[in-house]
Amino acid sequence: MADALAFPSAPVLSFAGNVATITLNRPAQRNRLENSDLQTLLEHFDAVNQAVAVRVLVLTANTTGQPKPVFCAGYDIGGFSELGGGAIAFEKVPDELARLRPVTVCALNGSVYGGATDMVLACDLRIGLQGIEWRMPATALGLHYYPSGLQRYLRSFGVSATKRAFLSARPFSWQQLEKLGLFEEFSDGSEWHSKLELLIQDIQALAPLATQATKKSLNEISAGQMDLTALRARESLTAQSADFAEGRKAFAERRKPVFKGD
């Protein structure tokens, strides 16, 4: 992994057991996303979905050599003038990220700006680094943000904080973000990796079938697309699963369950 991040590049995908990691890898450019990076991210998402053993995807960034860590400075606005670029091209990335099968964790190890904030919101869970800031400068640049991004902001930030983000373009401190309840926690540099690993371990300990089915249902309900028949079918599927039988047996025997995803 270290070798793969030694030189600036498009986002890097790596696998370790049932955990996949996508690392933004242009630290000298504050990990700004170019049009070619968007296609790479979509290809990585597809590869992760196809890797059935993967249960957790971590999205993070290489911040090596930066005076202050920046997870991502957002989408390169110069890309708007390129064929196939612009908001429509970028919008696909957080939309597809939100639909991924595994549980997604944003390991936000630096400040985040612009469209990259929507990638953070598209993840299921988030852990942050103390000292970072978050800024949405769309209206300061003269841009009306794309619809799915506004929807994600409203669902995550609520109306008041979303209006502050877009109608003042003022940054949020990590303390302000913490109060919004978006993050599992914020850690200092000394505890960053250990806190992230603990979160990943907690997710890995869950029953895979129930976790993935529940994620899908929560996403549908949140988007106002609840299908009661589909939810009942998932409920029935998990109730009849070997994992649920193992979970009940482990509870009775006062031990940790060994789930197999069936």
Backbone angles phi, psi at 106, to 5 degrees: -90, 115
Backbone angles phi, psi at 135, to 5 degrees: -140, 135
First-last CA distance in the chain:
31
**Nearest-CA neighbor of 128 among 176, 171, 181, 185?**
185
> Band of the pLDDT at 86, cuts 50, 70, 90?
low
Share of the chain above pLDDT 90, in %: 85
Backbone angles phi, psi at 173, to 5 degrees: -80, 165
**Distance of alpha carbon 60 from alpha carbon 22, whole angstroms:** 6
**Distance of alpha carbon 32 from alpha carbon 62, whole angstroms:** 11
Q: What is the pLDDT of residue 260?
A: 87
pTM attached to this predicted model: 0.93
Looking at the chain, the domain(s) classified CATH 3.90.226.10 span 12-204
Average pLDDT, whole number, for the chain? Answer: 92
pLDDT tens-place string over residues 96-132: 999 999 999 999 999 999 999 999 999 999 999 999 9
Q: What is the pLDDT of residue 80?
A: 55
Q: Which residue has the higher pLDDT, 87 or 17?
A: 17
**Nearest-CA neighbor of 161 among 144, 179, 148?**
179
Which CATH architecture describes the domain 12-204? Alpha-Beta Complex (3.90)
Q: What is the pLDDT of residue 8?
A: 79
**Distance of alpha carbon 245 from alpha carbon 239, whole angstroms:** 8
pLDDT tens-place string over residues 134-172: 999 999 999 999 999 999 999 999 999 999 999 999 999
